Amino acid sequence: MSESLTKDTILEALKQVEIPESGGNLVDQGLLSEIVVHGGKVYFSIAIAPHQAEAFGVVREQAEKMVLQIGGVEKAVVTLTADHETGQAQAQKPMSAGEQRASSGVAGGKPAPSPRAGIPGVKHIIAVASGKGGVGKSTVSVNLAMAFQANGLKTGILDADIYGPSQPRLMGISGRPKLGDNDLLIPMQSYGVKVMSMGFLVKEDEPMIWRGPMVISALSQMMKDVDWGELDVLVVDMPPGTGDAQLTMAQKVPLAGAVIVSTPQDLALIDARKGVAMFQKVNVPLLGVVENMSYFLCPSCGDRSDIFGHGGAEAEAKKLQAPFLGAVPLHMEIREKSDLGEPVVVGSPDSEHAKIFKDIAAKAWDEIEKHEARASTQVPTIVIE
């Protein structure tokens, strides 16, 4: 029975490794570098002074042994690294006796984990995408964000559709964002969720006739030049397709995951598959699939009509071995409230639809945490000596 392999499990095991001379254990003495977990492999290093190389050889071996005993660990690579001590020639010498693992190639620097190039203060950035337009992605994004908020998470929403921004209307906000003291734009707010959209910067009916590089630049600014503050999750409402906006998001920030929205129709599914494939190519985990416009319940007679078919997205999710997050039905109320700028999750919080969205949000959050624990998007430590 293997326990889940997390950094905490590893740290617990390493607490049992004692340090010679000074006493105390490996973890409490603060000698560990960032622990990297990849699949069943664990990597980290122990910082020492050069003269301690031999004494710590034993510690290194012990650490490896302890980690290997943890269920789910296939391999443990533990290296010893020496601090740069300015003015002391010995720090320049590459590790010899102590360095049992020659593969690391670190000649003398203490590896400092490089900060993840993301948005400071924002813990997880997720994309809500679809292959084609018209599947209701923006409505799903808004309600998903509201649902995260309702579930207790500090949430923001970034409207990445430069050409057809819809968040201002869907969230019922108007006005221009102001510039804060630190030269960052202050995001607009609606029902407790922070929002940024091109729609706040231009008139609603004004076309954005822009080439790719301008779109890329605008998106980068909306991510980095906005004072998002501390957020648990930033939902990015992507434009349809697999173009500049998608590439920019995949390259400029480490996305924690992507949610794909599709209608049950085959046509929409073909494009949804492309969206999925795109995220796979750039190592963005798939949080799951949402089937929008799943069915229609007649408000007067209660009859159900599967206007766009039903279950297609769920079947596709199974085929892709991706989680199915939920099915959202067509309902007058969702559309009406949307157009009034009152997402159904806040407008009718006790309704069946609000519940559906809250469930989708809860499942999506589970997936985000699962991928974080598994370090599915672990990026390498970059060390500049």
Q: Applying CB under 8 A, which residues contact another protein?
A: 36, 38-39, 41, 43, 75, 77, 103-107, 109, 111, 114, 116-117, 249-255, 280-286, 320-322, 376-385
DSSP state of 323: -
User: Cβ of residue 43: shortest distance to another protein, in angstroms?
Assistant: 5
For the bound state, the minimum distance from the C-beta of residue 35 to another protein, rounded and expressed in Å, comes to: 11
Distance CA 136, CA 318 (A): 21
Q: Which long-range contacts (CB under 8 A, 24 or more apart) does 346-353 make?
A: 346/146, 346/150, 346/191, 349/150, 353/328, 353/329
- Within 10 Å of residue 122's Cβ, how many Cβ atoms? 20
| Residue number, 38 or 65, with CB nearest to another protein | 38
Inter-axis angle of helices 137-150 and 332-339, nearest 10: 90
Tell me, what DSSP letter sits at residue 285? -
Best CA proximity match to 160, nearest among 116, 196, 109, 113? 196
Smallest distance from another protein to CB 297, Å: 32
Residue 333, number of CB atoms within 10 A of its CB: 15
Angle at CA 3, nearest 5°, toward 43 and 153? 85
Kindly tell me which of 98 and 111 has the beta carbon lying closer to another protein.
Answer: 111
Closer Cβ to another protein, 6 or 376, answer by number: 376
Q: Which is nearer to another protein, 189 or 251 (CB)?
A: 251
Which residues does 214 contact at the CB level (< 8 Å), separation at least 6? none
Q: How much is the CA Rg of the chain, to the nearest whole Å?
A: 25
Nearer to another protein, 36 or 354 (CB): 36
Instruction: Considering the complex, state which of residue 14 and residue 317 has its C-beta at the smaller distance from another protein.
Output: 317
Nearest Cα to Cα of residue 144 among 363, 322, 291, 360: 360
Q: Would you say 126 or 173 has its CB closer to another protein?
A: 126
CB 286, min distance to another protein, A: 6
User: How many whole angstroms separate alpha carbon 31 and alpha carbon 17?
Assistant: 12
CB of 89 to another protein, least distance (A): 14
Residue 56: which H helix or E strand, with range? helix 53-68
Q: Of the two residues 284 and 356, which places its CB atom closer to another protein in the complex?
A: 284
Q: Residue 149 Cβ, how far from another protein at the closest point, in Å?
A: 26
Taking the CA atoms of residue 131, residue 133, residue 137 and residue 139 in that order, the dihedral angle to the nearest 10 degrees is 180
Shortest spacing between CB 80 and another protein, in angstroms: 14
In sequence order, what are the beta bridge partners of 197?
159
- Nearest in space to 156 (alpha carbons), one of 119, 193, 211: 193
Q: Considering beta carbons, is residue 283 or 305 the nearer one to another protein?
A: 283
Instruction: Show the tokens assigned to 203.
Output: 């008139």
- Cβ proximity to another protein: between 187 and 285 the closer is 285
HSE of 83, CA atoms in CB hemisphere, 13 A = 11
Give the distance, in angstroms, between the CA of residue 125 and the centroid of all CA atoms in the same chain.
Answer: 4
CB of 106 to another protein, least distance (A): 6
CB of 382 to another protein, least distance (A): 5
Nearest distance in Å: CB 272, another protein: 14
